[in-house]
Amino acid sequence: MSAGSELDVAYVARLARLRLSAEETELFQKQLGDILRYAQQVQQVDLSSVEEKVEAIEFAELREDKSATGLGAEAALANAPRQSRNLFIVPKVME
Amino acid sequence: MSDLTAFGVAALREKLRAGEVSAPEILHAIEAKIEKFDPEIGAYLSRDFSAALKEAEKADLALPLGGIPVAIKDLISVAGQPCTAGSKILRGYRAPYDATVIARLRAAGAIPFGKTNLDEFAMGSSGENSSVRPTRNPWSPERVPGGSSSGSAAAVASGMAIAALGSDTGGSIRQPAAMCGVVGLKPSYGRVSRYGLIAFSSSLDQVGPLTRSVRDAALFLGAIAGPDPRDSTSSKNPVADYAADLGREIKGMRLGLVKEYLADGIDPAVRTSVSNAVTQFRSLGAEIVEVSLPHTKEAISVYYLLATAEASANLARFDGVRYGWRAEKATDVTDFYERTRSEGFGAEVKRRIILGTYVLSAGYYEAYYRRAQKVRQLIARDFTQAFAQVDALISPTTPTPAFKLGERIADPLQMYLADVFTIAANLAGICAISVPCGFAVEGESELPIGLQIIAPAFAEARLLQVANAYEQSTEWHKKRPRLSR
C-alpha cells in the first residue's frame, strides 16, 4: 500500500462529523500523510507468533447485575444547552 | 512562618498533627502563591477556595491525607466544579458527580481546590493544545512544562500545589513531571478507577499522582488505588501499603538498562544524567544489566493508531445534544453535528479524530488497527521477557529537557516523538514513574531531567521502593525553581 496516500482527509472528516476549512484540509492532509508514512513500520513487523485477541485488556469479573440509584434527571440535565420538562431540547431537524 | 508551600505531603502531615499549622493556613499559602505566580505560569483553569476552606476547617487530621490540599487535572470530575478537558466544547460544563478517585481522596481527608490546565482532551506533549492558554515551565517560562498534565506538573513544581492528580495515556504524567522536576507516577492499567475521568483512550488511560517525593506519590496511590464496581477494567489485585514498604534497601536487585532507549537522538545532558543514575544504583548495591525491548521503535506508531481509534469513538459523544458547546443556526442534523464539533474541538483533537476514524474505516482496519493491536501484544511480550531477567527497568523519561513554546507545534510527528520512552508502558499496561535525576543548563536556565523506572503490572510497591532508594540517595528532588516577581 502506498503510505498514507489513500487518506482523503475531506472525506474522513465528513465521516467523523467534522467540517474543515480548505486550509485545515490541506494542512491535515500533509500532516496525517507524514504520520501514516511513519506508521507504515507496523506493516514490517513479523506477526507470525501473535494470536488474535478480541480485546486488548483482560476484563476483571463484572459486578453483579442489580439496579442502583443513578444520577437522576435533574443532575443529568443540568448541563444541557436547552432543556424543558426533564427533556433535552434540540433544534427541529425533520421537515 | 516558613513557606508552607515548600513542604511535601508527608512533612505537612506531621506539622498538621503536631498542631504547628492548620489546614486552612496551608490553603491560604497556596492561594497566595497562585495569585502571585499563576498569571504568568497558567497552571490553573479554575479554583474554588471558598468550598475548599469549608472542607479545611472541618478536616479530620487522623485520616491518611487529612487536611492536604490537592490540585486536579481538569479532565477528572469534581462534583459542582467545572470540568472542561481544556476544550471549548466543554466550556461552562460542571461535573454532576465526583470521579471515584475524588471520592477516595475525600474519604482519605484530602481537599480538592482547583482544576489544572492541560492539552485539550489530554492530547498533547507540551501543554500548548489547551484551548484557554498554554502553561509555562516554572524553571524557564519561555519553555513548555510538558503535557498533557501540564498544569498539574507546573503547579507542584512551583508551590502552587503540594500534590496533584494527572492522567497518563502515553506519558502525560511522567513526561511533564520530568520536564518540571517533580515525581510522576503512572499506575498499572486497572490499578486506579477511571470512573469520572473523561475518556481519551480507554485501554491506555490511567490516573496517577504528581508530587514532590516518591513517598508522597506512595501516599496518594494508596488512597486512590483499588477496585471500583463502576469501572469494569479496575483490578481486584490487592492494594499494598505502598508507603510502609518504601524504606527497604534495593541491594541485590537487578535493574535493566534498556538498550533501545539510549540510542541516537538523546540530549547529551539527559544521557549523562541517566548514566550517573546507573552509577548511583550500583553504589546502592543494585546490579545493572543491559536488556533489549526489540519492538521499541514501533511503539509510537502503534500508540497513534490505537489511541486515535479509541479517541474517535470516545469523542463521538460530543454532539451538542446533552452537554457542552452547541452550534446555532444549523440547517439539518448533519450540519448541527458538524458545526458543533468543528467549532468546539481544537486542531490537534480534530487531527486525531480524523486519523482514528481512518484507521477504523473499512479497507484500512486490517492494515492499521488490527495490525497495531497485534504489535501491541509483541510490545507487551518484550516487557514480560525483560522482567524474567530483571526486577525493574531504567531509562530516560524524555529524550530532551523542556523545549521552547512554539518549537514543535507545527510538526505533530516531532511532537509525538517526545513520548518515545513513555508510550510503551501504557501499551503494555505496566507501571512506571519519573523521578528527578539532574539538570541541563541552557543559558541562564536549569532544566530538570527525569529518570524513568518501569516495573511489571501491579508491582507498584517494588517500583516505589526502587524510586525511593534512588531519590533519597540524591539531592535532585530538593531543588525548586526560582520564580521571578
* pLDDT the model gives residue B368: 94
- Collect all residues of chain B within an 8 Å Cβ-Cβ radius of residue A61: 236
DSSP string, B222-275: HHHBS--TT-TT---SPPP-TTTTTT---TT-EEEEEGGGGSTT--HHHHHHHH
Cell triple for B125: 506533549
Is the Cβ–Cβ distance between B73 and B149 less than 8 Å?
Answer: yes
Query: Which residue among B334, B350, B372 places its CB closest to the CB of A42?
Result: B372
User: Are B190 and A52 inside 8 Å of each other by CB?
Assistant: no
DSSP string, A6-58: T--HHHHHHHTT----HHHHHHHHHHHHHHHHHHGGGGGS--TTPPP-S-SSP
- Inform me whether the C-beta atom of residue A54 falls under 8 Å from chain B C-beta atoms: no
Q: What sign does the CA torsion over A11, A12, A14, A18 have?
A: negative
Which candidate in A7, A20, A30, A42 is best for mutational testing of the B interface (most B CBs within 10 A)? A42
Q: How far is CA B140 from each of CA B41, B160, B402, rounded to the nearest angstrom?
A: 10, 16, 9
Is the Cβ–Cβ distance between B73 and B151 less than 8 Å?
Answer: yes
Residue A93 has pLDDT above 90, yes or no: no
Residue with cell 508491582: B459
A51 pLDDT band, cuts 50/70/90, is: confident
**CA of A39 to nearest chain B CA: how many angstroms apart?**
5
Q: H or E element: which one contains B432? A: strand B431-442
* pLDDT the model gives residue B2: 76
Q: Can you tell me the distance from the alpha carbon of B343 to that of B476, in angstroms, rounded to the nearest whole number?
A: 44
Q: How far is CA A39 from each of CA A45, B328, B352, rounded to the nearest angstrom?
A: 11, 38, 14
Whether the complex's predicted ipTM surpasses the cut of 0.90:
yes
- Inform me whether the C-beta atom of residue A70 falls under 8 Å from chain B C-beta atoms: no
Residue A89 has pLDDT above 60, yes or no: yes
Residue A92 has pLDDT above 90, yes or no: no
**Residue-averaged pLDDT of chain B:** 96
Query: Which residue among B94, B232, B351 places its CB closest to the CB of A60?
Result: B232
**CA of B1 to nearest chain A CA: how many angstroms apart?**
44
User: Are A56 and B203 inside 8 Å of each other by CB?
Assistant: yes
- Collect all residues of chain A within an 8 Å Cβ-Cβ radius of residue B336: 90-91, 93
Residue of A nearest to B411 (CA): A31
* CA A31, chain centre distance (Å): 19
DSSP string, B139-186: TBTTB---SSSHHHHHHHHHTS-S-EEEE-SSSTTHHHHHHHTSEEEE
Q: Residues of chain B whose pLDDT is less than 70?
A: 1, 485
Cell triple for B160: 502552587
User: Are A93 and B337 inside 8 Å of each other by CB?
Assistant: no
Mind telling me the catalytic residues of B? Answer: 73, 148, 172
User: Are B354 and A9 inside 8 Å of each other by CB?
Assistant: yes
- Collect all residues of chain B within an 8 Å Cβ-Cβ radius of residue A86: none
Q: Residue B366 has what DSSP assignment?
A: I
User: Are B429 and A57 inside 8 Å of each other by CB?
Assistant: yes
A1 pLDDT band, cuts 50/70/90, is: very low
Task: Please give the interface size between A and B, counted as residue pairs whose CB atoms are below 8 Å apart.
Answer: 156
* pLDDT the model gives residue B415: 84
- Inform me whether the C-beta atom of residue A38 falls under 8 Å from chain B C-beta atoms: yes
User: Are B93 and A79 inside 8 Å of each other by CB?
Assistant: yes
Respond yes or no on whether the N-terminal peptide bond of residue B395 is cis (omega within 30° of 0).
no
Q: Can you tell me the distance from the alpha carbon of B250 to that of B16, in angstroms, rounded to the nearest whole number?
A: 32
CA gyration radius, chain B: 21
Q: How far is CA B228 from each of CA B86, B100, B222, B426, rounded to the nearest angstrom?
A: 26, 8, 14, 20
Residue A35 has pLDDT above 50, yes or no: yes
User: Are A50 and B334 inside 8 Å of each other by CB?
Assistant: no
User: Are A6 and B234 inside 8 Å of each other by CB?
Assistant: no
Query: Which residue among A18, A19, A42 places its CB closest to the CB of B301?
Result: A42
Measured N-to-C along each axis, helices A22-39 and B299-314 cross at an angle, to the nearest 10 degrees, of: 140
Which candidate in B231, B328, B355, B411 is best for mutational testing of the A interface (most A CBs within 10 A)? B355
Residue of B nearest to A63 (CA): B229
Q: Which of B476, B443, B485, B460 has the alpha carbon at shortest distance from B157?
A: B476
Query: Which residue among B229, B354, B368 places its CB closest to the CB of A32?
Result: B354
How do beta strands B431-442 and B183-186 pair? antiparallel
Residues shown for chain B: 485
Is the Cβ–Cβ distance between B258 and B278 less than 8 Å?
Answer: no
